[in-house]
Every structure is written in structure tokens, then in C-alpha cells.
Amino acid sequence: MLKVIKLPIRQVSKTGTRALSKRVCCTSSVMRRHHSLVTTRGFGTTKVVFQSVEIAFKDLSPEEQKLLTEKRVVDKVDVCIVGGGPAGMATAIKLKQLDVEQRLRVVVLEKSADFGSHIVSGVILDPKALRELFPKSEYYNDNGEGIPVPPELVTKVVEEELRYFMGKISFPVPAPAEMHNKNKNYVGSLSQIAAYLAEKAEEVGVEVYPGISVSDVIYSEDGKSVIGVATKDMGISKTGRPKENFERGMEFHARQTVFAEGCHGSLSKQIIKKFDLRKGRQNQSYGLGTKEVWEVKPEKFRKGYVSHTMGYPLSNSVYGGGFQYHFGDNIVTVGLVVGLDYKNPYISPYQEFQKMKQLPYFRDVLLGGRCISYAARALNEGGLQAVPKLNFPGGVLVGASAGFMNVPKIKGSHTAMKSGIIAAEKIFEVISKMPTLEELEETGTEKLVEKPINLESYEAGFRSSWAYKELYAVRNIRPAFNTRLGGIGGMMYAGLDSFILKGHTPWTFRFHESDAAVTETADKYKPIEYPKPDDEITFDILTSVSRTGTYHDEDEKCHLRVPDQDLEKHAEAAYPKYKGIENRFCPAGVYEYVEDKSSPLGVKFQINAQNCIHCKTCDIKVPTQDINWVVPEGGDGPKYSLT
């Protein structure tokens, strides 16, 4: 059962109970009703084809229109954080650590049913930000060294290598300093780390609400600032009609709204566009990471061993690399990251991953083991030059919502968390000087702030931090792979920059316009015939998706949006040029073109929304840029545990 700690207005007793104001009682009641709709569902994966069956709002009955537009319940908080990943939790925890007098209400809204169950990463953890967040910890050794998380969650890296593959032949490559992990970093599951951080947030008085999708940004009357967010309506059928269990979403109005949705967040991308936060900055570039978690035979397990690979199965024109990490008890995570700026529409990142596992380097480790989990997620690769402006009137961006991934280091959690820590410090400096919410309520003051807070100090704080310096030093390495020399040229420049230049150059390389825009038409390439799965080391997509625990209500409004949900119109625009690229870039079998002799195209486009594992690749890569990923109902999606 979900344990929710309510932020005290005055003081929390040792049992965590207190007298609640009418405002908080109202919130709790609504949130419990939302949560009941989530927790009563089971998880499983089916393959249901969604056709365009939605009814236009104007064609709904007056009663249905009234239900869908009725005024939402409004709750007021000091800080509302959208997203319960490492960055969001770091923001929340730091705010409450600073709030020693317990004056502030800090709320975290997370769309996954359980904290951590939508988190995907390698993961190798640099403990720097965690150590800043928890300077004292029972998990440090006698010298104060280590990482402040339970030891069963992480394994220290004790052995590592970097290899380049040319077919089945490989050779070691000197690893740049940024990639050194031995005896200083840790491997584990970021999903489990996120769940642990949620527990720590509760301990310091953060209100945490999993299973709550946030679907809308609430703007001021003049549209010039953000005043909060709204949670998604529950109980809308795939036709767009409210069902018997319909529950209107609610609004959270906040002095500051923190967007910590992760890579390519559905609200963050709106905020970036509305406030022109990319002005003077470059567009983001992305990669798609696919990974599996295996339980291997004890004799093949090397605890604390990590390796990274480059080259095969990817061609010289495709950026990316593989990995295998050994941690816990006989657990090995194996994965492949493919840069989404590839040009050939016939490439399938999922199938490239399956090919990679057939290399003896990977196959010999996995053979005889058991695949227990699968996951995929888009990640930021644009580096420092693609980080947008971080603040806007009413809120800030933190973590992967902004894009703090250190690609050469193959890490982003530590920089994401650092951004949350900085944001929390700057938010507290401003909000702590204001009247409390209780004081505003007693005086009948409706507005939470006299004028919108535009936290310029946050951007300045980031630029003076170690996170900025770290990203600045490696800013040219990833875009170096976009030259005509491709992967080989990128490796040569990366070596020069890492070992000699060390980022001290007067130039900063630029990225392309977008990953979608660089995609070329299918007539320039030949279809790629990928090997059939052997069901031992390699698997078909639906088998892999079944290992994600993904669930979406069959009778739910499709969260993968095309204009007017006109699937035929999308197919007419996309299929003749790209010959079903959606089939291939999606790592979950969501999009299909099936043979249909009655169609002028000879195929019919289908969206199997129940399979969606929330990787966001479709929103990023589709060349027609007419697929919009929005949040489904709260609690829907994958249920990861070891990713």
C-alpha cells in the first residue's frame, strides 16, 4: 500500500500524523481516489490493435462535455515537482533539508505506479552528487568514504575495459579519463536507487504521490508564467467518452513548478517551446538505449566488472556502443545505445542490440543464463550546447528534462542530481522569505506570489558548478562523431580531446537540426534483413516487452497522438518516403504497417498503444514529426525493478 507522508503545517508527530486543513484533506481524498484506480490494476502485456475510434469533443453529449470540462479541485503548495526520478527527488530532498522549520509544502508527482518503475539506465553511478546530498550516512566507511545507499543496491567497479569490434574480432582501446570507473564508481539498478531516494524524501517530509500522471501546464491569465500543473483525468474510454469510473484531474498551484520528467518530457518540451528556452542554444540530440537484465551462471559472473564496446554491430556512420555490467549476485545487465541521428530508415536499434548479443564476447557470458528483464529509453546526447535556459517565469527544468548527460563519461545521474540540488538551494533562498501557505490562507490571500518568480540565480548557479565544468570539458566529443569521418573520425578526435586538448579549445562543435530531420528517405538504402531470434540469446520484440510488466487499460484514450487521430493521414505522409520506419525505431512493437490490399498504399497503419514502454523514441525520431507522446493514465506503462 502506498505510504503518503503529509507535510506538516506546524509539526509532524513521531507517527507521522497531524491535524489536516480542509485544503489538504481535499487533496488527499482526490489523490486516494486517483491511486485506487491505479493499484487495482494488474500488469501484463497484450497486443491490441488500436484503430482511430475517437469521437470529436463537439460530438459528445452536453453531459459528457460538462464532465470533461468541470472545474478541477485546486491545491496550493510551495513547490510542485513533476517526476520522481533522481533529479526530482534530489530537488525535493534538498529543499526539505534546508527547510529545518518545516514551513514548506513540497510535493512530488510521479506517473509510475511505484517510484523507480519507469527508470532505465545502465547504470554506473558517480557518487559525487549523492555524497553532497547526504554528507552523513551510515553507509560510509570509517574514513567517510563510499556511497550513501544500502550496500545491497550497488557494487563497486573493480575491473573495466573498453573494446572496439570489427565483426567478431575486437581489440582493447585506451579509455579516456572520463570513462574511468575502477575503485571509484558503482554499478547497480537506477530503478532501485530511485525507489530508495523516494523513501529518503518521505523521511524528511516530502509529500510523494506515485501513480499520478501530470498532463497539463497551468498558466497565468496573461499566459506569461506558469502557476502550476494539472493531473490527468482518469477513466476516459478510447472513444474519448468518460466512463463510469471517470475522475477529473486536479490542479496543483505552486510558487515554483519543477519539471523533472526525464528525457524529452511531454510537458518540458512544451515549456521549452513556449518560453523559447532554446534561443541561443542548440537542438537536443538523442540516443536510444535498449537493455536486458540477466541472471547468469556463477562461473560466468565477475562481480564489479564493467565493459563498454564500440563498432560492430553498428556501422561507421551510426553512433553508439554496447555495455555489460556485473553486479549483485550473478546479475549482468547488457545493452546497446544507438544515436537517433542515424540516416538509414531501415535501421532497427532493437535488432542491432540482438545482433550484438550474438558476439561471443556477450553470448559466452549469457549462454545458460536467464533473461529476467528488458527495458528501453531515449537519452540526451546533445551535451552542454543543447542544454536550454533552465528557468522561466514560475518554474525551472532539472535533470534530463534539460539534458545534463555526460556522453563520453556515459553517465548523467550525478549531473542531473546536482542540477536538482542547485535548483533547490536557489528556490529556498527566495521562497523561505515569503509568508507560509497557512499565513496566506488566514489572511485570505489568493495569490501565492506577488509576481512570478523567474529564478535567474539557478542558471547562474549551474554555470558556476562542477557539473557545468564537467560538461564544458567534454562538449566537443559527441558532436565529433557527426563529421564525414563518422565513428572512426569521432574516435580519433575523442582521443585527441580527452588525452591532450582536455576541452581547452576555442571552438564548440554544433549539432544537426534534429534527429528526425537527418533521416533520409528509404529509396537511398536497401532493406536490412536481420537474423531471426533463437529464443535463447536473442528474442522477438513481443517476448521482450512481456518482460517489462507493461500495462495500459484496453479501453483507454490513446496516449500516442497523431493529428485528429487520423492514422491513414499519417501513413500517407510517412510510408511512401520511409517505408515503415516506425516499425523499426520503436523498441516495443507499438507501431505497425500491416498488409491491406484495400488501401492505396497497400498497408494499414496501426498503433498498439498497450505495448508502449514510454521510451519517447517515436516523438523524437519520426521524420514527419506528427506523433506526440503524452502521458497515459497514472500508473500505466512498464513496471521495471532491476533497470
Look at residue 496 in the predicted model and tell me its pLDDT: 73
Q: What is the mean pLDDT of residues 335-356?
A: 97
Look at residue 607 in the predicted model and tell me its pLDDT: 96
| pLDDT digits 0-9 by tens, 369-391 | 999 999 999 999 999 999 999 99
Task: Grade residue 502 by pLDDT with cuts at 50, 70 and 90.
Answer: confident
Look at residue 11 in the predicted model and tell me its pLDDT: 28
Of the ranges 61-70, 80-89, 452-461, 481-490, which one carries the lowest mean pLDDT score?
A: 481-490
Grid cell, residue 326, equals 556485473
| pLDDT digits 0-9 by tens, 476-487 | 878 777 777 677
Among the listed residues 50, 436, 384, 402, the one whose alpha carbon sits nearest the alpha carbon of residue 239: 50
| pLDDT digits 0-9 by tens, 508-520 | 878 788 999 999 9
| Contact of 195 with 221, CB cutoff 8 Å | no
Is residue 51 over pLDDT 60? no
pTM, two decimal places: 0.91
Higher-pLDDT residue of 58, 53: 58
Q: What is the mean pLDDT of residues 332-352?
A: 97
Is residue 410 over pLDDT 60? yes
Question: Which helix or strand (DSSP H or E) is residue 215 part of?
Answer: strand 214-219
Is residue 65 over pLDDT 60? yes
Task: Grade residue 461 by pLDDT with cuts at 50, 70 and 90.
Answer: very high
Give the number of residues written for the chain.
Answer: 643
Higher-pLDDT residue of 591, 29: 591
Among the listed residues 624, 611, 479, 498, the one whose alpha carbon sits nearest the alpha carbon of residue 550: 611
Of the ranges 5-19, 134-148, 200-214, 465-479, which one carries the lowest mean pLDDT score?
A: 5-19
Q: What is the mean pLDDT of residues 165-170?
A: 93
| Contact of 312 with 164, CB cutoff 8 Å | no
Q: Which string of b and e fits 236-265 if b means at least 16 CB within 10 Å?
A: bbbebbbeeebbbbbbbbbbbbbbbbbbbb
| Contact of 88 with 260, CB cutoff 8 Å | yes
Is residue 545 over pLDDT 70? yes
Residues 6+ apart with CB under 8 A from 597: none
Q: What is the mean pLDDT of residues 127-146?
A: 97
Task: Grade residue 32 by pLDDT with cuts at 50, 70 and 90.
Answer: very low
What would the DSSP string read from start to end of 74-139?
EEEEEEEEE--SHHHHHHHHHHHHH-TT----EEEEESSSSTTTT-----EE-THHHHHH-SS-TT
Task: Grade residue 636 by pLDDT with cuts at 50, 70 and 90.
Answer: very high
Is residue 634 over pLDDT 70? yes
